[in-house]
Amino acid sequence: MLSGGLDSAACLDFYLDLGRTPCALFVDYGQPTAEPELQAARAVAKFYSVPITCLRCEGAQPKRAGLISGRNAFLVTTALMERPKFVSIVAMGIHAGTDYSDCSSHFVEKMQTVLDIYNECSTQFVAPFINWSKADIIQYCLMRNIPLDLTYSCEREFPPCGMCLSCEDRKAIDARA
């Protein structure tokens, strides 16, 4: 899953560093920042020379910043449905330190149970940063020279609002650079 944010860019880099051959999936599910996220996801995929598939599945209800019930479950099952047959891992850059129930070890375990129902080819759902803090991911990004300038991190709008948690993370990164 490549949202265009720093967590998903770090996740892509992580699997490339392991010697994997990833492909990327971006999903426009009607989020307010879909267009700048899509541009960022394409730029990150291009930087890493990774093919990217882009889907648009807006749904009937407008989406707002913050918690969107079912979002990560939707993204995981969409990735399962749309993955090339050679893909055996669906990876997401979710991490510790949020209050979102779909950013937890429990969520990862339950989604694996769902994938196991459909799992004719042993697809795994993984979240390599599930026990990492946002600060750990930022440190990883800086250590690995991940092109953070290509990522987009505001949850609310374009241009970035400067006030949401993602913008606060970006300020912390910019202060270290």
- The reported pTM is 0.92
Residue ranges in 22-164 assigned as alpha helix (H): 34-47, 71-82, 105-118, 134-144
Determine contact, residues 25/53, Cβ cutoff 8 Å: yes
Range of the domain at 48: 6-176
Q: Is residue 1 part of a domain?
A: no
- Greatest alpha-carbon pair distance for the chain in Å reads 47
CATH of the domain at 68: 3.40.50.620
Torsion 54-56-57-63 (CA) sign: positive
The average pLDDT across 28-39 equals: 93
Binned at pLDDT 50, 70 and 90, residue 54 comes out as: very high
pLDDT for 85? 87
> Which amino acid is present at 41?
A
Tally of structural domains, the chain: 1
Q: Is residue 92 part of a domain?
A: yes
Give 57-99 pLDDT, tens digit per residue: 988 888 887 778 899 999 999 999 999 988 999 999 999 988 8
pLDDT for 106? 97
Q: CA of 128: how far to CAs of 25, 55, 103, 161, 169, in Å?
A: 17, 24, 12, 29, 19
Q: Is residue 85 part of a domain?
A: yes
In the predicted structure, residue 37 carries a pLDDT above the cut 90: yes
Q: Is residue 28 part of a domain?
A: yes
Q: Is residue 73 part of a domain?
A: yes
d(CA 10, CA 97): 17
As given in the structure block, the two tokens for residue 40 are 């960022």
In the predicted structure, residue 162 carries a pLDDT above the cut 80: yes
As given in the structure block, the two tokens for residue 160 are 């970035």
Q: Is residue 131 part of a domain?
A: yes
Q: Is residue 16 part of a domain?
A: yes
